[in-house]
């Protein structure tokens, strides 16, 4: 039996149309700048986000770290939310690649207060202090919450006042836009650069995009090569990215609706603590409010045909995507009901 994989939206398989597009893609050598499929994807990504230029990169972590490497000088300080992906899940790469220091701010549901950001901006030229090189935001946040546009605008206004650029980890920026009911351009209009993933909910098998001003992207292109990201016939990877932007981004509301349906079903189960209103996108986070046998739960889910990550410190996450149906969710809830009711 084909298992339904709820561990993440990173597990998504490319659609049949994507597989065909990979087969049919016109190719060139991207290091020479003559792969027509990559060029088409980069132009499309820039247009979708209202930025001057975009660059195809192998992964989201690569794109974020390339942004830090391009914006910052070695020894700079980056102001960033404490639970953000760049801090928690990118293997400390900022210290190794860009040589920068993370100045983490404790946020509320992923949102840093503007006053807290301002307190951490280095002013003047004290030789004892690092330079504030960048402010990083994340929307949608990896906790599943979507940051309000007004908060992003306020942060950007503060950054401009102090002459500090802003980078957005927008791995799921199209999910954020769908949740907010706006165009993705509105989510990124106040930031200087943005990374987003073509994989995850958009279902491309490989790749992310870094977008920003043309001069920034040209600097990033050189540093992409330095990081080992100079690609050759990359059109076979870029082709599904085009469909990710033209077809899959338009259906993310379906994943969000399924996530809310799942959250509402979980709220009815014993031992589960969840507020369905906190499920903004396709990431469903919940807590167990009683001791449960995690091994028994995971075995029951696997027997019922599901893959999921086990609870960690009482918290568990389930993720919807294009290969998870409403019927699948009903079967999942039934399996969990059986275990949690024992």
CA-closest candidate to residue 207, choices 246, 236, 167: 236
pLDDT of residue 313: 86
Contact by Cβ (8 Å): 143, 181: no
Alpha carbons 2 and 305: distance in angstroms, whole number:
7
What are residue 103's DSSP bridge partners? 79
Terminus-to-terminus CA distance in the chain, angstroms?
26
Q: In what order do the strands lie in the sheet with 283-288?
A: 272-273, 283-288, 315-319
Alpha carbons 78 and 121: distance in angstroms, whole number:
9
Taking domain 4-9+251-340, whether its CATH number is 3.90.1150.10 is answered by: yes
pLDDT of residue 2: 86
- What is the average per-residue pLDDT within 182-190? 97
Alpha carbons 260 and 277: distance in angstroms, whole number:
8
Q: State yes or no: pLDDT of 203 exceeds 80.
A: yes
Burial of 151: CB neighbours in 10 Å, binned 0-12, 13-18, 19+: middle
Q: State yes or no: pLDDT of 255 exceeds 80.
A: yes
Alpha carbons 33 and 37: distance in angstroms, whole number:
11
Residue ranges of the chain assigned to CATH 3.90.1150.10: 4-9+251-340
Q: Which of 93-115 are b and which e, b meaning 16 or more Cβ less than 10 Å from the residue's Cβ?
A: bbeebbebebbbbebeebbbeee
Q: What are phi and psi of 102, to 5 degrees?
A: -90, 120
Q: C-alpha 313: how far from its chain's center?
A: 23
Cis status, amide bond into 177, omega within 30 of 0: no
| 3 state SS of 307 | strand
pLDDT of residue 1: 64
pLDDT of residue 342: 74
Pairing, β 77-81 against β 193-197: unpaired
pLDDT of residue 194: 99
Residue ranges of the chain assigned to CATH 3.40.640.10: 16-249
Which CATH code for domain 16-249? Answer: 3.40.640.10
DSSP 187: H
Global pTM?
Answer: 0.97
pLDDT tens by residue, 50-94: 999 999 999 999 999 999 999 999 999 999 999 999 999 999 999
pLDDT tens by residue, 138-153: 999 999 999 999 999 9
pLDDT tens by residue, 229-240: 999 999 999 999
Helix axes 326-340, 252-266, angle to 10 degrees: 20
> What element of type H or E holds 63?
helix 60-71
């Amino acid at each position: 039996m084909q298992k339904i994989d709820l561990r993440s939206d990173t597990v998504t398989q490319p659609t049949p149309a994507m597989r065909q597009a990979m087969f049919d893609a016109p190719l060139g050598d991207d290091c020479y700048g003559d792969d027509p499929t990559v060029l088409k994807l980069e132009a499309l990504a820039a247009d979708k986000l209202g930025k001057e230029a975009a660059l195809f990169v192998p992964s989201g972590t690569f794109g974020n770290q390339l942004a830090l490497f391009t914006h910052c000088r070695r020894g700079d300080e980056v102001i960033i939310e404490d639970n953000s992906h760049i801090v928690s899940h990118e293997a400390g790469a900022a210290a190794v690649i860009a040589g920068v220091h993370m100045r983490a701010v404790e946020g509320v549901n992923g949102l840093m207060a503007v006053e807290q950001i301002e307190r951490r901006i280095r002013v003047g030229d004290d030789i004892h202090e690092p330079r504030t090189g960048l402010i990083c935001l994340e929307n949608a946040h990896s906790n599943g919450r979507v940051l309000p546009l007004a908060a992003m605008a306020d942060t950007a206004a503060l950054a401009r006042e102090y002459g500090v650029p802003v980078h957005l980890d927008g791995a799921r920026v199209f999910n954020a836009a769908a949740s907010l009911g706006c165009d993705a351009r509105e989510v990124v209009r106040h930031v200087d650069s943005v990374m987003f993933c073509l994989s995850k909910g958009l279902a491309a098998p490989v790749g992310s995009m870094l977008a920003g001003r043309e001069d920034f992207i040209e600097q990033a292109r050189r540093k992409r090569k330095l990081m080992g990201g100079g690609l050759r016939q990359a059109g076979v990877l870029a082709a599904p990215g085009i469909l990710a932007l033209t077809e899959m981004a338009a259906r993310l509301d379906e994943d969000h609706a399924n996530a809310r349906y799942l959250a509402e079903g979980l709220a009815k189960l014993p031992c589960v603590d969840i507020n369905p209103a906190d499920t903004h996108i396709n990431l469903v986070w919940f807590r167990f409010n009683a001791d449960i046998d995690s091994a028994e739960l995971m075995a029951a889910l696997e027997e019922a045909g599901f893959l999921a990550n086990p609870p960690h410190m009482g918290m568990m996450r389930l993720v919807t995507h294009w290969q998870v149906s409403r019927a699948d969710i009903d079967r999942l809830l039934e399996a969990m009901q059986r275990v949690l009711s024992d």
